[in-house]
Each structure stands twice: as C-alpha cells, then as structure tokens.
C-alpha cells in the first residue's frame, strides 16, 4: 500500500501514469470486441451479453432499492 501511495505522490496534477501491465501481447483483441460475427447460418451475431440499460435505476436485490437514497448528497444523477 505504501508503494502505491508513493507512486501516486510522484505524479503531478493532471498527470497520467502508464503502468507496466497489458491485457495481451498486442492490442489485436480490440479489433473484434462487440463486433458482429457471422454464425453458421450466415446471420450476424454479437458476443455482447451485457444487461440492457434503462432510464430508471435497476437493482440486483430489493433490499438495494430500499437502501438507495434518492437524496444522496454525494451522488451524481444524470438527467
């Protein structure tokens, strides 16, 4: 933890640090992300299994909805 804090302290305001970690050997994986792929029937399919987005908040559990504070002073709500 101390090493991470020292690293952050080295940076000046608005500086971005490039870390020595990569998703893969190259960036080729970006070329096919969420792009249509031909299926065996010739139709296009997308490997995108994300949940649909809605205008209203969605909660995983009913208790989460009860705990949510619509007057949250530190939350940012997009109109």
45 in a domain, yes or no?
A: yes
Q: What pLDDT, on the 0 to 100 scale, is given for residue 71? A: 82
**pLDDT grade, residue 45 (50/70/90)?**
low
List the domain range (segments joined by +) for residue 54.
Answer: 24-70
pLDDT at 22: 80
Contact 36, 43 (CB under 8 A): no
- Predicted confidence at residue 36, as pLDDT, reads 67
Residue 51 lies in a domain: yes
Q: Is residue 79 part of a domain?
A: no
Q: How confident is the model at residue 9 (pLDDT cuts 50, 70, 90)?
A: confident
Residue at 55 is within a domain? yes
What is the pLDDT, as a whole number, of residue 26? 87
Please count the structural domains in the chain.
1
Average pLDDT over residues 51-79: 81
Task: List, as one string, the DSSP characters of the chain.
Answer: -HHHHHHHHHSPTT--PPPS--SSSSSGGGGSTT--EE-TTS-EE----PPPP-SS---SSHHHHHH--TT-TT-----
Could you tell me the pTM of the whole model?
Answer: 0.30
Domain for residue 12, yes or no?
A: no
């Amino acid at each position: 933890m101390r090493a991470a804090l020292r690293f952050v302290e080295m940076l000046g305001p608005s500086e971005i640090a490039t870390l020595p970690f990569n998703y893969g050997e190259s960036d080729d994986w970006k070329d096919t992300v969420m792009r249509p792929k031909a299926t065996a029937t010739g139709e296009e399919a997308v490997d995108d299994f994300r949940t649909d987005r809605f205008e209203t908040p969605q909660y995983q559990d009913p208790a989460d909805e009860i705990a949510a504070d619509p007057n949250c002073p530190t939350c940012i709500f997009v109109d």
